[in-house]
Amino acid sequence: MEALLLYYIRTKCNKECASAIGEKKMQEELNLSESTVEGYIGKLKEYKSILSIRTLNPNNEEDKKEIDKALGVPYEGDQRKKNLYYFHEPERFYFLNPQFICRTDIENEIKGFLIRLACLCDIGTTKIYTPNCRKEKANIKFIADNLKMSRGKVKSSLSRCEDLGLIRAIPRGYIILEDSFLLNLNGTLEDKVYNSIYKYCLEKEVVPPNRYEFSNKGNPMECDGLLMCAPYIFDWWNIYNAKAVRFKEYSPLMFEVYINDILLPKRFSTLPQEPHWEYFKKAFLNINTKTRKPQIVEMCINNESEYPFIAARSIYPEKLQKSVVWDCDD
């Protein structure tokens, strides 16, 4: 439960990662009793690597200034002491839609468990892999040890999450299906391509490929398969829309709609249980990709028109290719 409360408080922070949310508000929005909130706030004080909690007195001039700063407006409540929460920058994090906290169809305990479980996911995914598995089944003890919970409690919580359709068992682990747990901020070309492939794999009930691989020094690097495939998919989308504008046989599509509705269903009516990037490279590019260097795309999209003006420049390390430009309003 403290994980749920921790994230709830984090959603109430200002730009300096400080929050002065009151306990009364916590009780109302999370439907918790006063004693429950007080008890878990006491537990949060042990999470010193994540946040610091200071108790301030609104009657004190300096304390009130700090409360006002955290709230962003002058404090006009009662004069009882208030907790201020200061979050430290995490070394590793994931993205979670704040609306998940307010879901009434999921018990608070399960929401808190899922928030903690997501901390074990491979970077950039919602997949949890466990070592020392038997017959490809997840190692529950590994999850329990990492979450500092009993094996029995973890097993029952995982079972409950499966029953609710929040997670699914995969070879050697689990995958979180709840779409409040975001893969990324969907801001780059690679984000959009990866998100579409990931979602399509989930729909086909197979295991999506990883977003990152690791160097010899243990540093995460974007998988070369994604870096290779994304520019080609971008070019195919441009060609599709250019034909749509020229021949008027169908309507142009936005990038992700083209991937989800046209490209992936056409190329992959079925998928293997665990498709890796070598599989997608072969299917998309139909070439020997092992010796080909990743392509980089510089992209500019003007969203002022009904269908975007698209400019893309494909670059290989060994040579600079000619820019390719389509104006979909012509």
pLDDT band at residue 325 under the 50/70/90 scheme:
very low
Whether residue 272 is found in the same domain as residue 288: yes
Tell me: the pLDDT tens digits for 233-292?
A: 999 999 999 999 999 999 999 999 999 999 999 999 999 999 999 999 999 998 554 544
Q: Does the residue 198 lie in any domain?
A: no
Whether residue 123 is found in the same domain as residue 73: no
For 86, other C-beta atoms within 10 Å of its C-beta total 14
Which of 182, 212, 234 lies at the terminal end of a domain, its last residue?
182
The pLDDT score that the predictor gives to residue 314 is: 38
Separation CA 191–CA 168 (nearest Å) = 23
Domain limits at 164? 95-182
Whether residue 15 is found in the same domain as residue 65: yes
Tell me: the pLDDT tens digits for 4-44?
A: 999 899 988 888 889 988 899 999 999 889 999 999 999 99
CB 174 within 8 A of CB 138: yes
Separation CA 138–CA 228 (nearest Å) = 32
Tell me: the pLDDT tens digits for 52-102?
A: 999 999 999 999 999 999 888 898 888 888 999 999 887 667 899 999 998
**How much is the pTM?**
0.78
Q: What distances in angstroms separate CA 242 from CA 83, 249, 310, one per listed residue?
A: 58, 11, 10
Whether residue 82 is found in the same domain as residue 104: no
Whether residue 247 is found in the same domain as residue 306: yes
pLDDT higher than threshold 60 for residue 201: yes
Tell me: the pLDDT tens digits for 311-322?
A: 333 333 333 333
What six digits make up the tokens of 279?
Answer: 């599989």
Whether residue 282 is found in the same domain as residue 258: yes
Encoded amino acid at 243, one letter: K
